[in-house]
């Protein structure tokens, strides 16, 4: 899969996407990720990308010309252009699955008070929010989307990692889990897990996952 990102803060992307599973996916060619600086499409000597809103009010908006030129330069036939902003539809695992089936994404991160509305109207195929809180810019939301989508691409996770995810636990929170030692500072791991009785263990895990989901996230059961 190819993912392009348009941002005013390309340096923010250096660390998080060069570690661990995402790093491995990039190295193996499963994810082709490119970060682009919106300022490269500014026309004036000061490389201006923002301007004051018509009608007055606080803050600045991303002006349309650099965004239109950048998106025209970066988009290809099958590219899905996605804006990141608090006004988007709420990002979720099912949207991550939708996006993982695409060939080509262009993530456009909001800054300042947002975009000129014509960017939305003319260029965006979708608009996503990662949750109901206010961040300083859209770089972290873009990285959240990239991370959640990349781990769903074929071949990115090892068999162990992905088969466990695909098992009964889908749609439920994880059950309590323990590793050695079986007793630690007076706290014991449940006997059933240590017992080695596989059918009992599976039954216990399923019950615990359901109970935890019912107690903490009943919305997931609906
Ligand atoms: N999920 N932010 C975007 C600027 C902005 C404001 C309005 C477009 C319209 C966020 C989130 C988020 C802060 C990124 C405001 N862009 N983005 N930025 N939550 O809080 O996606």
In order along its 222 residues, the chain shows pLDDT tens digits of 999 999 999 999 999 999 999 999 999 999 999 999 999 999 999 999 999 999 999 999 999 999 999 999 999 999 999 999 999 999 999 999 999 999 999 999 988 889 999 999 999 999 999 999 999 999 999 999 999 999 999 999 998 888 666 666 579 999 999 999 999 999 999 999 999 999 999 999 999 999 999 999 999 998
Tell me the β-bridge partners of 37. 7
**Cβ–Cβ under 8 Å, residues 131 and 3:** no
Q: Which of 5, 38, 50, 86 to mutate to test the pocket of ligand 1 (most atoms within 8 A of CB)?
A: 86
Closest CA to 9 of 102, 140, 126: 140
Rounded Cα gap, residues 91 and 127, in angstroms: 9
Q: What is the pLDDT of residue 166?
A: 63
Rounded Cα gap, residues 35 and 108, in angstroms: 10
Give per-residue burial for 33-62: e unless 16+ CB within 10 Å, then b.
bebbbbeebbeeeeeebbeeeeeeeeeebb
Task: Output the ligand 1 site: residues, CB below 6 A.
Answer: 84-87, 110-111, 113-115, 129-131, 133-135, 137-138, 141
Distance 78 CA to ligand 1 centre (A): 25
Q: What is the pLDDT of residue 160?
A: 81
For the CA of 84, the nearest atom of ligand 1:
21
Return all residues near 114 (Cβ < 8 A) that are at least 6 apart.
61, 62, 85, 87
Distance 56 CA to ligand 1 centre (A): 20
Q: What is the pLDDT of residue 191?
A: 98
Displacement of CA 44 from its chain's centroid (Å): 33
Of all protein residues, the one whose alpha carbon is nearest to atom 8 of ligand 1 is 114
């Amino acid at each position: 899969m190819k993912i392009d990102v348009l941002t005013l803060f390309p340096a923010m992307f250096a660390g998080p996407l060069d570690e661990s599973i995402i790093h491995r996916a990039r190295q193996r060619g499963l994810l082709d990720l490119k970060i682009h600086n919106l300022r490269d499409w500014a026309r004036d000597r000061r490389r201006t990308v923002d301007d004051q809103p018509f009608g007055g009010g606080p803050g600045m908006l991303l002006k349309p010309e650099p965004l239109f030129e950048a998106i025209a330069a970066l988009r290809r036939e099958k590219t899905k252009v996605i804006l990141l902003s608090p006004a988007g539809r709420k990002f979720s695992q099912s949207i991550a699955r939708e996006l993982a089936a695409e060939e080509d994404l262009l993530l456009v991160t909001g800054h300042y008070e947002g975009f000129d509305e014509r960017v939305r109207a003319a260029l965006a195929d979708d608009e996503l929010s990662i949750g109901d809180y206010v961040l300083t810019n859209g770089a972290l939301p873009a990285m959240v989307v990239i991370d959640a989508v990349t781990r769903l691409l074929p071949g990115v996770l090892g068999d162990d990692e992905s088969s466990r995810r695909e098992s009964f636990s889908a749609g439920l929170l994880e059950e309590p889990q323990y590793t050695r030692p079986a007793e630690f500072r007076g706290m014991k791991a449940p006997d059933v897990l240590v017992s080695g009785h596989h059918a009992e263990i599976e039954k216990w895990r399923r019950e615990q996952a359901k109970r935890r989901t019912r107690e903490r996230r009943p919305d997931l059961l609906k």
